[in-house]
Each structure stands twice: as structure tokens, then as C-alpha cells.
Amino acid sequence: MCGDTSPIRIASLAARDLGCEPQACVVVEDAVIGIEAAIAAGMKAVGVTTYVDAEVLRAADLVVANVRELGLCELESILR
């Protein structure tokens, strides 16, 4: 990838490459910058408390301690 490699641009390109509208995408992240990029790109965000406390990831649509907590019901609920 050449040019703009900002997290927001990367998230937008990922949606495009998947053939999806950003609002139909869910980003699973353990970093604040990833959560912020997902939201700025118009995507839903799930914060995973791998390295930070849940409070730090509060901007996410959903915060979990482990990706194993994510099931179809949880993902569908944040896409509504």
C-alpha cells in the first residue's frame, strides 16, 4: 500500500476490498487507535481488553475480555 497509511484509511480500504459498506463491518481491536479508526471510518467496533482496561476502550460499541465472548448474537446486535 502506498500513500496514506493512516488507520482510518486502512479500515476504509479493508471494507472496500471486502466489497462491503463500512457500516456493515465490525472491527475487533485491542488498541484505542484501532477503535477510533473504525468509528471514524463508519464501522462498528469491538474492543478487546487484551492489553488495556475496558474504560480505555469505552468508545467501542462493545467491549469484551476475550474474542471467545463474541458470538453471532453479539455481532448482530451491534450491527442493528
Dump pLDDT digits (tens) for 22-75: 999 999 999 999 999 999 999 999 999 999 999 999 999 999 999 999 999 999
**DSSP helix/strand/coil, 47:** strand
**No. of helices (H) and no. of strands (E), the chain:** 3, 3
User: What per-residue confidence (pLDDT) applies to 2?
Assistant: 59
Cell of 8: 482510518
Q: What are the strands, taking DSSP E only, across the chain? A: 26-29, 44-48, 62-64
What are the φ/ψ torsions at residue 16 (nearest 5 degrees)? -60, -45
User: What per-residue confidence (pLDDT) applies to 4?
Assistant: 67
Return the CATH superfamily for domain 7-79: HAD superfamily/HAD-like (3.40.50.1000)
User: What per-residue confidence (pLDDT) applies to 57?
Assistant: 96
